[in-house]
Structure 1
Amino acid sequence: MHLYAGRHPDDPQLTELIGELSLKSDAFRGLWADHDVQAHTTGTKRLHHPIVGDLTLDYQVLTVQDDPEQTLVLYTPEPGSPSAEALGLLASWTSTSTAEALPPERTPGPPG
């Protein structure tokens, strides 16, 4: 939020939100006063996918030079890791054709 506030110091909605949070939360007030601003551009995320389970992915945030408001986040698993295998399983599902994925009663028939 500090990063956004630095880029948009005249945003009235942000000013209102910061004021409201400051009045209602001692924790927020302390964190906001610390001014501990760090842009996390690389690191590791741990996610849980409902089908393949836990994933550990490295990430890198790329910023568009002409528009710092836009970013692209790349997530990659460690090669050969359980996370890489889980993502491979999910990717294999996309290689199934639409006709193969549909139940028999929904499979498109020949035109005509």
Structure 2
Amino acid sequence: MDALPIQEESGVPFASQADGKMHACGHDGHTAMLLAAAKALKGMEAQLQGTVRLLFQPAEESSGGAARMIGEGALEGVAAAFGLHVDPASPTGVISAKPGATFAASIASP
């Protein structure tokens, strides 16, 4: 999902098998984090009130991914949303947070 148009030349065992396409920007990490969150939340499902919706936003590096998802109804009925993104400029083991948009310059109306 959402691979970049780059030829993989890393030589790692888990390298892309699609010619001219590579997950070069952390999408494997993002996917692993989303799956880990899903597993953890499923494990405590009886303690949760309401429904949890997990989303993987396409085109987060460019504009339009969030707006398109919102326009297609991804947030309909959602009371709260939490986003997560890796930041290679942050030291390993550091988690930072703040309210509002962090990586997105703005959210366009759908």
TM range (shorter): under 0.3
Larger Rg: 1
Identify the structure with the greater helix proportion. 1
TM-score, length basis structure 2? 0.24
**Higher RCO (C-alpha under 8 Å, 6+ residues apart):** 2
Identify the structure with the greater strand proportion. 1
TM-score, length basis structure 1? 0.24
